[in-house]
Every structure is written in C-alpha cells, then in structure tokens.
Amino acid sequence: MKLNRRLFLRNAGIATATPLLFNQLVACSTAQKEADSISGTSLDNFGIQLWTVKEDLAKDTLGTLKALSEYGYKQIESFQGEKGIFWGLTPADFKKYMDDLGMNLFSSHCNPDYTIKPETEEEFKKLADDAAGIGMKYLINPFLGSLKTAEEWKKAAEGLNRQGEIAKNAGLRVAYHNHHFEFIKFDDGTSPEQILFEGTDPALVDFEFDLYWVVKAGEDPEAWMKKHSGRIKLCHVKDVYKDEKVKELEQVEKSPDPFWPIGASTIVGTGKIDFPKILKTAKENGAEYFVVEQERFDNTTPLDAAKADAEYMKSFKFA
C-alpha cells in the first residue's frame, strides 16, 4: 500500500468517530500515570510519528506497534487515516494495547478541515472527547498547504483558537505542525508561521516544530524557540541529508510538484541537523515531546529505519 503524504493531507476525509467510553475522571487518572518527563542530559522518553511506518501499519497494525515498542519507543503520535487515529480499534482497545506494550498514545495528527471548516466542529468535538477519554494530550493540525493569502492564514489562526477552546473543554490541547511553506514571506514581510504564532492564544494553542522543514526553509530553529519560548511544546526529530547528498539527489531526481523540494530525510543523527544543540534549546524553552519521523528510506526499510532512529535516541545526549 503506497501512500502519498501530500495527497493524503490535501484530501483527508473525516474519520468515523468512535463512541466515548471513558469519562473525564478516567482521563485525569490516566494523565497522572504518564511518564513524560525529561531529566538530566538524556531523553527519558521519546516518540515516533506513525507516518514513518504507515505501510507496515496498514498490513499489520498490532505487529508493527509491537515492533516499535521493542525498539524502545515509549510514546506514539498517530495520524488520521482511513481507519482513524485508533487504526480501526476502539479508543479503549487501542489504549489497552498501548498499556500492554508499555507505550503511550499521547498525540495524533488529525484532519486539517477541523481548523478551516467550522461545519466539522461536531466531529472534532467527538474526536477530542475520544482522545481525552483515554488520556491523550494533543490533537495536531499537520498541514494547511492550500492556504495562499495572509487573510486565509489569519482565519486559520481563528480556527485553531476555536479548536483550542473545544480541546480545553475536553481536557487536552491543540497544536500546529509546520512544513517549509509557513516560512515563505508575504509582500509585507510577515509569514504564515508568524501569523499563527501572533494570532493564536497561548492558553489554547501550542506548536509542533518539524526541524527537518524548519531547516529546509533556511530558518534558525533556535531563534524561533527563543522568540516564542513556551509555545513550541513538541519537536519532530527528523534529519535531512547533508548538503552534498541533497545536491546529488537533486541532479538525478525531480519533484513531481515544484512546490515541494526533493525529499531528503535520513536516519536521525546521520544528516546535517545538530540535534544535541537544538533540542537542548528546545528543552530550555519549554519543549516536552521529542518525536522521531522519517519519510525517505534509501537502502533500508521503514521499520529498520525506525529501529536505527531509536538507537540514536536511546544514546542521545543534550549538548
């Protein structure tokens, strides 16, 4: 099963809502049991975005999740595909399987329509209740690439605030995940990312910084982390090939869409991003979750890459 992320994100349908099986008291109790702390110079816990192993999950959901637990992942960030964020299971059954594996589903990317289409509000409320009912922390908008004008981005900020209120009432939070286009400036010097930071309420909306895309956009992630201290709560730990390798790829490959640069993600720790330094700055400025993601797999498989990424994260030391 081959999935194209861009087409998926642009055409994502609303996943069928599942019944709310746990009340808010259960959610609070669950939250107290989570082990999300970061101590000392190393990462106590780290996660993986399931998009990394999406094709394996489609073939064998439970077996793939078990493999990830064996690699050392303690935290799972899902995404909303055809089977929903719980991969065809009820929220309760998914949580039980996570518990059995010693893992925690703390977050999921979800349908971007929830932000820009108010008519989907009831469906988002149901998803928020399901997520909060099993102790999840975040529902995240992963993509607003269809927006073209500053006014559209301002409306998106309003939409994120609206989602944030719904999530807060349910007992969790909303965040936004960037790509590279959020840093492309408009004629007045502002950028979509700036508009989102300035137009969203810090009490309602957080941010997930995808470090691969920040670097690909030519931005300094540490500068953003310091400027918006306390708002970037999650980081996608996704590496990019070193410049020489990227140039080599660009000579032999052509992106099917000129809007998107050639995909150049690689095993974490083997590329150009200085994670010890950048993640230290992230931690010092409020980041709480560090989530592996990889989208390109040269001479390897997604599962083998996920295992190699986990080995790096297990040996990781902040600068």
Query: At residue 35, does pLDDT exceed 60?
Result: no
Mean pLDDT of 303-313: 98
DSSP 249-282: HHHH---SSTTSPPP-EESTTSSS--HHHHHHHH
Q: Given pLDDT bands bounded at 50, 70 and 90, which one contains residue 45?
A: very high
Q: What is the pLDDT of residue 4?
A: 54
Residues whose CB is less than 8 angstroms from the CB of residue 40 and which lie 6 or more positions away in sequence, other chains included: none
What pLDDT was estimated at residue 3? 52
Give the model confidence (pLDDT) of 166-220 as tens digits: 999 999 999 999 999 999 999 999 999 999 999 999 999 999 999 999 999 999 9
Strands 232-237 and 205-210: parallel
Is 94 a residue whose pLDDT tops 70?
Answer: yes
Q: Average pLDDT for residues 106-127, to the nearest whole number?
A: 98
**pLDDT tens across 78-91, in order?**
999 999 999 999 99
3-state secondary structure of 237: strand
Domains, in order of start, for the chain: 5-314 (3.20.20.150)
Crossing angle of helices 121-133 and 91-101, rounded to 10°? 40
Does residue 5 register a pLDDT over 70?
no
